[in-house]
Amino acid sequence: MSSDTELFHPVIELPDPTRAARYQRLVGVDHIKERLRREASVLADPASLTRWAAQHHPAAANASAFTLLRDRAPLLLFAGDVGSGKSALAESFGCDLSDSLRVPVLLYRLKLAARGTGHVGEMTTLIAKSFEQVGAEARRGRTGDGRLKAVTILVVDEADALVQSREATQMHHEDRAGVNAFLAGIDQFAGTATPLLVVLCTNRLAALDPALRRRAAATFEFGRPTEEQRHQVLTTAFDGFELSPGIIDKLVEITGPRSDGTPGFTFSDLTQRLVPAALLRAYPFEPITPDLLVDVATDITPTPAFTDQAAA
């Protein structure tokens, strides 16, 4: 299924093979995947929480704890450095959610065109229209008797360009109005059990409007891979190449933080730069060797760290 509008990239029905494979390749972030599955399941289908409560805590079925959990806005924040895997996970975790809830998931990806061209009222109108379209789709995801039949996910990449803090001194009135519209769009779905998830991805968590950060049901922070995570990524990538554990350990060391203060490799440095570069260095005349891998890893400069600063 696919469609396109002025505001959205083509809509994708999940699971699809491309994004399912992408989700599986995101190794080293299992702790985030596990927490995300729980958060997303409860936000998209509060009835699953009711069923769990009936089984394990029948006397507390009407406890305020459950009301507090159900009343949250369906908003998730993915924050972290460039290349940390947040956008890839945002666009692929719907495959896992689909398998978990056993319903299709519709993936909407907002274009930056939603910012408009600066005309008074345009940004507010476009954001309201975006939520209207996505909301209409999401409401069709539940049957008349309340059964879940589909979930809608709206992903907003580079979210700081759309919902920057209204406290910023240089912020234009139109941008402030756009943030207000976005907050209103989120608020209309809080506590409604509408099967909608809104995921904001940003490199600059501190630059997002504080009111937006407070509304988030959960914030997932993505860092550079640890030594253990780099080992997992590289072991998975080179499975079947008959490399000794020693060479993997050497690559883990090379791709870590350097003595001159240079940060370690990001996830994308490992998967989109190191691994392809190694394969293409050897192809088509020689096999992958330990020396080749070390040379390639040493030649790559890690992606510079992105400094997250609140808008001035």
For the chain, the structural domain boundaries read: 12-222, 227-299
**In the chain, what percentage of residues exceed pLDDT 90?**
73
Contact (CB, 8 A) for 135 and 277: no
Q: What is the pLDDT of residues 248-268, one digit of tens each?
A: 999 999 999 988 888 999 999
Backbone angles phi, psi at 7, to 5 degrees: -105, -25
pLDDT in the model for residue 185: 96
**Rounded distance between C-alpha atoms, residue 202 and residue 127, angstroms:** 18
Query: Which of 39-53, 166-180, 253-267 comes out lowest in average pLDDT?
Result: 166-180
Q: Is the pLDDT of residue 192 over 80?
A: yes
Helix (H, G, I), strand (E, B) or coil at 295: helix
Q: CA-based diameter of the chain, in Å?
A: 69
**Rounded distance between C-alpha atoms, residue 63 and residue 69, angstroms:** 11
Residues 20-43: what's their mean pLDDT? 94
pLDDT in the model for residue 117: 62
Helix (H, G, I), strand (E, B) or coil at 114: helix
Q: Is the pLDDT of residue 17 over 80?
A: yes
* CATH T-level fold of 12-222: Rossmann fold (3.40.50)
Mean per-residue pLDDT of the chain: 91
Helix 93-101 to helix 30-44 angle (10° resolution) is: 50
Contact (CB, 8 A) for 20 and 88: no
Sequence-ordered list of residues with C-beta below 8 angstroms from that of 114, at least 6 positions apart, any chain: 7, 123, 126, 127, 130, 162
**In the chain, what percentage of residues exceed pLDDT 70?**
93
Q: Is the pLDDT of residue 311 over 50?
A: no
pLDDT band at 2 (very low <50, low <70, confident <90, very high): very low
Contact (CB, 8 A) for 200 and 156: yes
The structure tokens listed for 181 are 């519209």
Contact (CB, 8 A) for 91 and 155: yes
Q: What is the pLDDT of residues 69-127, one digit of tens each?
A: 889 999 999 999 888 999 999 999 999 999 999 999 999 999 977 776 666 578 889 99
Q: Is the pLDDT of residue 4 over 60?
A: no
> What is the pTM assigned to this prediction?
0.90
Contact (CB, 8 A) for 248 and 235: yes
Q: Around 116, how many Cα atoms within 13 Å sit in the side-chain half-sphere?
A: 18
Helix (H, G, I), strand (E, B) or coil at 72: coil
More confident residue, 116 or 35: 35
Residues 181-209: what's their mean pLDDT? 95
